[in-house]
């Protein structure tokens, strides 16, 4: 029985074979999927029409050949400037380069790769030239202008996704969307995202979404790939369809370094399909935390508002109590009591002072006239009392006479009341003026003419009438024509 190899043993064996067979090779290709992590190493893929090769260019090897070139056929070192400036800093996607190094196996992924020792430019590919030409053309047409781009709504509730229905990009997008936002509705519009038919299908789906008008945002997404793989998003057909969309379009095409024409036209660009989902919707936990924070702020604001209003109400209550009629009556009553007390005290002092003055006067009189004069005073007092007894009957008789005169005048006045006869069946007739208002009293037949308006006032109301004709010298009989 043959020996069974572990994965690590087989990988080491393959590594030994590859490194022994390809200790140093030159490879020409187009740079795609360029990545520059914080370590300083450079990772990219060399691609052509038929294949792709992963390349790692370690930081320690990047100074070799950076400012000089090497002829891969002869090994001749070229003059400075022949290979351009420092390529490690200027290396970009779409660039044609020559890379030299050894083939090895990256055991963690089980894939072979080129460990580059030298990298130098070899020119720019046709696709890169076409990309730049189309970019300039569309920029001149204004498709990249920020002024024409629409605002992307935050946390949209209806999203249309244009992508391949079988790709990993849509699965990642839906997985992330299910954990974010407030629960959006998503409609998948399937389209090819690679190949000659892809631009037409993408443009048709963009137009269909605009006609439908259901979505708030259109997401155009695709996973990573080479420049050729992403070329459908570098076509004028897709760019113009995006520009005429009536709904904001966002893109998430390729990986972080990949930039397509669609990204320039999009209303907002995200680096990857996953970044598109995270950019459209916040984390649900963040939303809940935001809601909790808003609820707390609202509660604090409500409590503060209630406290302010309670203080204001208390102040108004105190002011109202001070200005209220009951409070005013209390203050007036208190003032009246205080005034009464002052008046009583002042009266007592006044009476005491008058009593003292009378007593002093009496003492003075007694000293002036002696005891004999008091007999005359008593006689005057008796005379005064007699006069007072006569005054009261006379005053009552005079008041009774005045009452009788008042009643007589009232009776005469009632007899002159022009409305008093109304209760006995009489009436007051007023001529109406031009405005229909009561005018002078009608005292003679000659004061009225046929057609004049009259206002007849009786005891319990008024009657409107019109003069039909005069009746002189006699009363008109019932039913008789005037």
Q: Indicate which CATH number applies to the domain containing 228.
A: 3.40.50.10550
Looking at 226, 250, 282, the residue that finishes a domain is 282
Query: What whole-number distance in Å separates Cα of residue 254 and Cα of residue 269?
Result: 11
Per-residue pLDDT band for 333 (boundaries 50, 70, 90) equals: confident
Rounded to an integer, the average pLDDT of 452-459 is 83
Query: What whole-number distance in Å separates Cα of residue 289 and Cα of residue 146?
Result: 33
Residues 156, 258 within the same domain: yes
Per-residue pLDDT band for 289 (boundaries 50, 70, 90) equals: confident
Residues 148, 268 within the same domain: yes
Looking at 68, 94, 124, the residue that finishes a domain is 124
Query: What whole-number distance in Å separates Cα of residue 262 and Cα of residue 239?
Result: 6
Q: Residue 354: its pLDDT value, please?
A: 87
Structure tokens belonging to residue 163: 């992508």
Residues 108, 161 within the same domain: no
pTM equals 0.44
Q: Which residue has the higher pLDDT, 320 or 349?
A: 349
Percent of the chain with pLDDT over 70: 88
Q: Are strands 453-458 and 461-466 parallel, antiparallel or unpaired?
A: antiparallel
Query: What whole-number distance in Å separates Cα of residue 97 and Cα of residue 84?
Result: 12
Taking the alpha carbons at both ends of the chain, their separation in whole angstroms is 152
CA angle 302, 304, 305 (to 5 degrees): 65
Asked whether residue 409 is assigned to any structural domain, the reply reads no
Residue for token pair 């990772």? 43
Are the beta carbons of 470 and 481 closer than 8 angstroms? no
Asked whether residue 278 is assigned to any structural domain, the reply reads yes
Q: What is the pLDDT of residues 82-109, one digit of tens each?
A: 443 477 888 888 888 888 888 988 888 8
CATH number (domain holding residue 100): 2.40.50.140
Residues 275, 136 within the same domain: yes
Q: Residue 471: its pLDDT value, please?
A: 63
Rounded to an integer, the average pLDDT of 464-472 is 77
Rounded to an integer, the average pLDDT of 353-357 is 88
Inform me whether the pLDDT recorded for 128 exceeds 70.
no
Residues 162, 216 within the same domain: yes
Rounded to an integer, the average pLDDT of 263-285 is 90
Asked whether residue 372 is assigned to any structural domain, the reply reads no
Query: What whole-number distance in Å separates Cα of residue 439 and Cα of residue 267?
Result: 85
Q: Residue 209: its pLDDT value, please?
A: 95
Q: For 453, how many CA atoms within 13 A lie in the half-sphere containing its CB?
A: 11
Asked whether residue 434 is assigned to any structural domain, the reply reads yes
Q: Residue 75: its pLDDT value, please?
A: 47
Asked whether residue 354 is assigned to any structural domain, the reply reads no
Q: Give the domain range for residue 429.
A: 421-466
Residues 112, 13 within the same domain: yes
Range of weakest confidence among 112-121, 189-198, 272-281, 414-423: 414-423
Work out the number of other CB atoms within 10 angstroms of the CB of residue 366: 12
Determine whether 197 is exposed, middle or buried from the number of CB atoms within 10 Å of its CB (0-12, 13-18, 19+): exposed
Range from 59-63, 296-300, 454-458 that averages highest in pLDDT: 296-300
Inform me whether the pLDDT recorded for 67 exceeds 60.
no
Rounded to an integer, the average pLDDT of 433-461 is 81
Q: Is 454 helix (H, G, I), strand (E, B) or coil?
A: strand
Asked whether residue 447 is assigned to any structural domain, the reply reads yes
Residues 156, 272 within the same domain: yes
* Integer angstrom CA distances of residue 436 from 360, 428, 454, 468: 81, 17, 9, 17
Per-residue pLDDT band for 372 (boundaries 50, 70, 90) equals: low
Asked whether residue 395 is assigned to any structural domain, the reply reads no
Q: What is the pLDDT of residues 172-185, one digit of tens each?
A: 999 988 888 888 89
Averaged confidence pLDDT in the chain: 83
Residues 275, 307 within the same domain: no
Secondary structure element (H or E) that encloses residue 28, with its range? strand 25-35
Rounded to an integer, the average pLDDT of 50-54 is 89
Residues 194, 223 within the same domain: yes
Are the beta carbons of 185 and 157 closer than 8 angstroms? yes
Residues 212, 119 within the same domain: no
Residues 111, 136 within the same domain: no
Per-residue pLDDT band for 203 (boundaries 50, 70, 90) equals: very high
Inform me whether the pLDDT recorded for 80 exceeds 60.
no
Inform me whether the pLDDT recorded for 133 exceeds 80.
yes
- DSSP string of 315-372? HHHHHHHHHSHHHHHHHHHHHHHHHHHHHHHHHHHHHHHHHHHHHHHHHHHHHHH-TT
Q: Is 436 helix (H, G, I), strand (E, B) or coil?
A: coil
For the chain, how many structural domains are there in total? 4
Structure tokens belonging to residue 445: 């037949």
Residues 184, 99 within the same domain: no
β-partners of residue 101 are 25, 116
* Inter-helix orientation angle 284-323/325-369, to 10°: 20
Structure tokens belonging to residue 152: 């992307």
Q: What is the pLDDT of residues 1-22, one digit of tens each?
A: 467 888 888 888 888 888 777 7
Asked whether residue 84 is assigned to any structural domain, the reply reads yes
Query: What whole-number distance in Å separates Cα of residue 310 and Cα of residue 451?
Result: 72
> String of b and e for 237-247 (b: at least 16 CB within 10 Å)?
bbbbbbbebeb
Sheet containing 428-432, strands listed edge to edge, beginning at the edge strand earlier in sequence: 438-441, 428-432, 453-458, 461-466
Residue 318: left if φ>0, alpha if ψ -120 to 50, beta else—which one? alpha
Rounded to an integer, the average pLDDT of 436-465 is 82
Per-residue pLDDT band for 255 (boundaries 50, 70, 90) equals: confident
């Amino acid at each position: 029985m043959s020996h069974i190899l572990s994965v690590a043993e087989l990988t080491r064996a393959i590594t030994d074979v590859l490194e022994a067979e390809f200790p140093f090779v030159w490879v020409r290709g187009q740079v795609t999927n360029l990545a520059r992590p914080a370590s300083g190493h450079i990772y990219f893929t060399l691609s052509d029409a038929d294949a792709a090769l992963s390349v790692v260019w370690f930081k320690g090897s990047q100074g070799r050949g950076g400012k000089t070139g090497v002829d891969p056929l002869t090994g001749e070192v070229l003059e400075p400037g022949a290979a351009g400036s420092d390529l490690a800093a200027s290396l970009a996607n779409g660039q044609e380069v020559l890379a030299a190094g050894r083939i090895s196996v990256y055991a963690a992924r089980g894939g072979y790769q080129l460990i580059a020792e030298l990298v130098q430019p070899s020119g720019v590919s046709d696709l890169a030239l076409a990309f730049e030409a189309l970019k300039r053309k569309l920029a001149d047409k204004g498709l990249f202008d920020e002024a024409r781009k629409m605002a992307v709504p935050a946390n949209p509730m209806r999203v249309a996704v244009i992508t391949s229905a079988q790709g990993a990009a849509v699965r990642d997008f839906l997985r992330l969307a299910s954990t974010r936002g407030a629960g959006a509705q998503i409609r998948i519009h399937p389209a090819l995202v690679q190949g000659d038919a892809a631009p037409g299908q993408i443009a048709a789906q963009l137009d269909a979404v605009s006609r439908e008008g259901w979505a708030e945002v259109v997401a155009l997404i695709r996973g990573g790939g080479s420049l050729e793989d992403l070329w459908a998003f570098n076509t004028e057909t897709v760019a113009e369809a995006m520009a005429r969309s009536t709904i904001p379009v966002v893109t998430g095409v390729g990986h972080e370094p990949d930039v397509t024409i669609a990204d320039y036209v999009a209303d907002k660009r995200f680096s990857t399909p996953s970044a598109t989902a995270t950019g459209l919707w916040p984390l649900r936990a963040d939303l809940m935390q935001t809601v909790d924070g808003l609820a707390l702020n609202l509660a604090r604001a409500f409590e503060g508002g209630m406290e302010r209003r309670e203080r204001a109400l208390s102040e108004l209550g105190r002011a109202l109590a001070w200005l209220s009629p009951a409070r005013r009556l209390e203050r007036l009553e208190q003032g009246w009591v205080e005034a009464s007390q002052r008046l009583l005290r002042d009266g007592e002092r006044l009476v005491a002072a008058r009593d003292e003055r009378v007593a002093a006067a009496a003492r003075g009189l007694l000293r002036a006239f002696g005891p004999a004069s008091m007999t005359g005073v008593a006689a005057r007092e008796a005379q005064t009392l007699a006069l007072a007894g006569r005054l009261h009957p006379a005053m009552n008789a005079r008041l009774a006479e005045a009452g009788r005169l008042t009643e007589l005048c009232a009776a005469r006045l009632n007899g002159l009341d022009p409305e008093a006869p109304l209760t006995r069946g009489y009436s007051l007739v007023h001529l109406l003026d031009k405005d229909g208002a009561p005018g002078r009293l009608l005292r003679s037949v000659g004061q009225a003419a046929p057609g004049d308006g009259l206002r007849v006032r009786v005891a319990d109301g008024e009657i409107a009438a019109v003069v039909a004709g005069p009746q002189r010298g006699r009363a008109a009989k019932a039913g008789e024509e005037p």
